[in-house]
Amino acid sequence: MLPTKRRADGILLKQALAFASLIVLSWVSEILHVSLLFGASAEFNWARVIARTLVLVAVWAWMHWTTRRVLRRLHHLEEFVHVCSWCRKVGSDDQWLTMEDYFGEKFSAQTSHGICPACAVAAFKPLIPDPAEAD
């Protein structure tokens, strides 16, 4: 699978090439007088071909800007790690892995288990007698 940045660049490049080909086609049609089929004048009209080019460039710029925003948002959403709220498994490449397997596969990291201070207090506080109550 390609990195998201390369895929986004490929999409934007294909979009730019499509608009460039439309611009080339508009110039070729003006040069070859293809517009005669639509009842336009036979001579080369600079204003007409430049107006078409400017419209196509404006539409391309708007499409390019919009597509970049959508791709940036998509890339942002792809960065989230999906964790099952029931079993705490992590969703990765169409499979659900335990936390240990996920970290081992993605980061080549070994994992170990421990207990954070807040959980230790919550778990062991009922077992430790309070010195103030001993009096």
Cβ contacts of 91 within 8 Å, gap of 6 or more? 81, 82, 83, 84
Q: What are phi and psi of 25, to 5 degrees?
A: -65, -35
Task: Find out whether 99 and 88 touch, Cβ atoms under 8 Å.
Answer: yes
Q: To which residue do tokens 């807040």 refer? A: 118
The domains of the chain are located at 4-80, 83-124
Q: Are 98 and 109 in contact (CB under 8 A)?
A: no
Average pLDDT over residues 89-103: 87
DSSP 96: E
pLDDT digits (tens, 9 = 90+) for 42-85: 677 788 889 989 999 999 999 999 999 998 888 776 677 888 88
